[in-house]
Amino acid sequence: MKIACNYFPETEELVDENRIDIDYFKYPALSSQMRIFEAGREKEREAFFTRLKSKKPVLLHGLYPAPHDLASPNFIKDFDFQTVDELLGITETPGISLHPMLRHADPSRDSREFINTIKNNILFLKQRYAHLDFISVENLDSFKYGCLIEPEVIYEIICDTGCSFLLDVSHAVCAARCRNEDVREYIYKLPLHRVYEIHLNGWIIKDGGIMCHTKINEEGYAILTELLARCRPEIITIEYGRDNDRLSAGVPVLSPDKVNEAAKSEIEEQALRIQSIVKSPIKNK
């Protein structure tokens, strides 16, 4: 079982200082980091990923430049083969992971039609990139994605296409909350037998709102420990880090040009905790 961590300068410093032992830099972590995928930044992109790979392998999340939306009927027609192939080559990522949808669900669109569209587009990716270790699809987090937060729909998409499942724990927390359902009951309906990667980060509920990608809380660690008794992911990713504190909860805010020492300490603490969990004996259920 390998450990990945969102890339930030803080993460890179911790690796340089031998304070954490991770297997991958997961990239991108924030929307601002996607700028490196823009046209005209090829040399900068190559230099950046070459530097990262000299320290740790890169785990690419998403396909760029956006949009590469699996729910789009024009996904294959609009697919940027040249850029995607370039990124796969430069990053040397072991696989591809995506959200099944990037925008709000169109209420006028037939649910069965757009589920089938997603499945057909996944099958296209599986055939086009059969040499990769995995093609993973991630669970979503809110009603804006329509039926795609229904466990039965997630199960169908993953199992009918034979792709891998990226289980995002905080997304499951948000989706269960939308559905007024216990998070564990929700998670255990998902295709855990197809889990390849787990995204783990914390969440804060305040003033009726929820904010994720914060420091992993004890509930998150407990859910992870229980999950590892039910499935054996290849990768656990610490998906920590925010560029804002919209609930004024006092979380460390990350920026591209200045190291936040408080955030750096929290990344170190989480990496060490995850490492200890991964190394602990697991009792299967």
CA distance 172 to 185: 10
Q: Which of 6-15, 37-46, 60-69 has the highest mean pLDDT?
A: 6-15
Whether the CB-CB separation of 267 and 11 falls below 8 Å is answered with yes
Is the pLDDT score of 199 beyond 80? Answer: yes
CA distance 209 to 27: 27
Is the pLDDT score of 284 beyond 80? Answer: no
Q: Choose among 49, 57, 60, 52: nearest CA to 84.
A: 60
What local confidence, expressed as pLDDT, does residue 73 receive? 92
Residue 150 pLDDT level (bands cut at 50, 70, 90): very high
The proportion of the chain whose per-residue pLDDT surpasses 90, expressed as a percent, equals 87
Q: What is the mean pLDDT of residues 181-209?
A: 97
Q: Pairing between strand 202-206 and 209-214?
A: antiparallel
Q: Pairing between strand 134-138 and 202-206?
A: unpaired
Residue 26 pLDDT level (bands cut at 50, 70, 90): very high
In terms of pTM, does the model score above 0.85?
Answer: yes
Q: Choose among 2, 51, 50, 48: nearest CA to 24.
A: 2
- Cα distances (Å, whole numbers) of residue 20 to 92, 228, 238, 267: 22, 22, 12, 9
What local confidence, expressed as pLDDT, does residue 256 receive? 86
* Domain housing 130: 2-279
Is the pLDDT score of 164 beyond 90? Answer: yes
In our burial notation (b when 16+ CB lie closer than 10 A, e otherwise), range 249-259 reads: eebbebeeeee
Q: Choose among 197, 147, 204, 154: nearest CA to 174.
A: 204
Whether residue 285 lies inside any domain: the answer is no
Q: What is the mean pLDDT of residues 126-155?
A: 97
Whether residue 79 lies inside any domain: the answer is yes
Whether the CB-CB separation of 236 and 229 falls below 8 Å is answered with no
Name which residue leads in pLDDT, 191 or 257. Answer: 191
Residue 50 pLDDT level (bands cut at 50, 70, 90): very high
Residue 282 pLDDT level (bands cut at 50, 70, 90): low
What local confidence, expressed as pLDDT, does residue 218 receive? 97
Residue 80 neighbours by CB distance under 10 Å: 15
Whether residue 69 lies inside any domain: the answer is yes
- Cα distances (Å, whole numbers) of residue 259 to 156, 212, 227: 43, 21, 33
Residue 97 pLDDT level (bands cut at 50, 70, 90): very high
CATH number at residue 66: 3.20.20.150
Q: What is the mean pLDDT of residues 154-166?
A: 98
If one counts the domains in the chain, the total is 1
Whether the CB-CB separation of 240 and 201 falls below 8 Å is answered with yes
Q: Pairing between strand 202-206 and 58-60?
A: unpaired
Whether residue 284 lies inside any domain: the answer is no
Q: First CA to last CA across the chain, in angstroms?
A: 18
pLDDT single digits (tens) 168-185? 999 999 999 999 999 999
pLDDT single digits (tens) 221-267? 999 999 999 999 999 999 999 999 999 999 999 998 899 999 999 99
- Percentages helix, strand, coil for the chain (3-state, rounded to 5) are 45, 20, 40
What local confidence, expressed as pLDDT, does residue 181 receive? 97
